[in-house]
Structure 1
């Protein structure tokens, strides 16, 4: 008991246990890992061993510091890899978005071009139709006027010629001088087989003494379309085409057919 009391009162300090030193070492490791201080700075804290060399606990602590540094490096590499992957994904997404925008723009341009071409084609077709509607031709190709308008004589009931005659052998193709609608097609008394057409401008033309007809009432015709073949039917002295221009569909509304054709651009 006296020995125990002397030992207790001797005033000597007992060295820290291995467990305490190990705990302190771990705390130092944690502090170093948190602050980023290089592991070698902690070496003096473990150099106070009574034998002047590192204890097993000290060596383990240093190894732990190295392991902690390695883990930190792995974390940084992983973070950098993830950042690179994220940037790659973002770049790919941006590239896809840009490609989509370019595709949409290309589609818009193509559609606009197609629309412009379609409208141009429609406009050209309308212009062509307008020209055809307003185009006039001679009723017989390569012919000439054999009897003038207003010529007198007993052959005509009115005492004068109400139209002009074009020279034409029997069976010569006879054309509509302009676009319009057939309002009469058949036997016309003194006119023989005849056709009357109402044109788009409201005027009328008549074709008489035909051998045969190629159109019927209500049919729409275009300038230059064949409507029959010339002949000598009705009150006729021989094969020819009797052509009249009128302001109405009936006899007695005749106007000068030669002037009419020339007004519509036909050079005769």
Structure 2
């Protein structure tokens, strides 16, 4: 009959118990993230092979390994944290660059829009000025007055009546085009003496007679107020003045009331 003896408080646990305990400790460490492989020497050791002073080596090694692993985990955490910070900084830099590019493009588009609007406004102003220039009319002699009216009767005119109006003017007074147009006649005109005929942009014509000198030539473009010659007393006259006619055509006999013509174009004489 076999007898067993209970282990007293002064007796060492059996080998099987100690091995089981070490294995359980290692498993626990492995479950908490500590590399279990480092505890392998503790499983291989026996009370007979290891001095009494190193009986608890398995636990001591596990603690050391745990601290080392924790250090590495801490380092990894720091690396990951640094990487996350760098990634965040990169994203912020990219976002800032995109915002800056957007702001630059927006400013550039706004500058282009303003430049285009200004260009269009300048074109509009230029067109308006040109329209005004083409449609502006003035008196043929500044500050003068009509001395002989339209259709006045006299034997001085071959038709028996005046085909235009006479503006008071001394010889050498500046005579100007009443409106923009093209010179269609510039030279001697028989009874009209030295004369100029202008075709205007609206298709009407004006004539300037008895000039002492002519400053324009056929085909030349003129503007309202431009000097075309100087008044005089050439042709069939009794004294210096300007004979002014308004016509629907270039030739004699197409005359219309010059005063009414000028009034229609905004000129009062």
Q: Which runs of 5+ in 2 are unaligned?
A: 1-13, 36-46
- Within 2, Cα distance between the matches of 1:75 and 1:107? 47
- Please say if 1:73 is aligned against 2:81: no
Q: TM-score scaled by structure 1?
A: 0.81
Aligned to 1:33: 33
Rate the CA distance shift 1:84–1:54 in 2: closer, same or farther, 3 A. Answer: farther
Q: What is the CA-CA distance between 1:145 and the residue it aligns to?
A: 0.7
CA contact (8 A) 1:181 1:197 kept: yes
2:33 alignment partner, SS class: helix
Rate the CA distance shift 1:68–1:152 in 2: closer, same or farther, 3 A. Answer: same
Q: TM-score scaled by structure 2?
A: 0.81
Give me the CA root mean square deviation: 3.0
- Within 2, Cα distance between the matches of 1:200 and 1:186? 22
Q: What is the CA-CA distance between 1:23 and the residue it aligns to?
A: 10
Aligned to 2:10: none
- Within 1, Cα distance between the matches of 2:87 and 2:121? 50
List aligned pairs for 1:41-190, cutoff 5 A: 51=52, 55=56, 58-190=59-191
Q: Which runs of 5+ in 1 are unaligned?
A: 1-12, 36-47
1:131 alignment partner, SS class: helix
Q: What is the CA-CA distance between 1:27 and the residue it aligns to?
A: 7.1
- Within 2, Cα distance between the matches of 1:262 and 1:54? 131
- Within 1, Cα distance between the matches of 2:161 and 2:55? 147
CA contact (8 A) 2:34 2:69 kept: no
Task: Report how many residues are paired.
Answer: 244
- Within 1, Cα distance between the matches of 2:115 and 2:215? 41
Q: What is the CA-CA distance between 1:72 and the residue it aligns to?
A: 0.2
Q: What is the CA-CA distance between 1:26 and the residue it aligns to?
A: 7.5
CA contact (8 A) 1:187 1:194 kept: yes
List aligned pairs for 1:182-261, cutoff 5 A: 182-261=183-262
CA contact (8 A) 1:29 1:64 kept: no
CA contact (8 A) 1:245 1:256 kept: yes
Aligned to 1:267: 268
- Within 2, Cα distance between the matches of 1:70 and 1:150? 121
More divergent stretch after superposition (176-185 vs 98-107): 98-107
CA contact (8 A) 1:182 1:218 kept: yes
Rate the CA distance shift 1:266–1:54 in 2: closer, same or farther, 3 A. Answer: farther
Aligned to 1:42: none
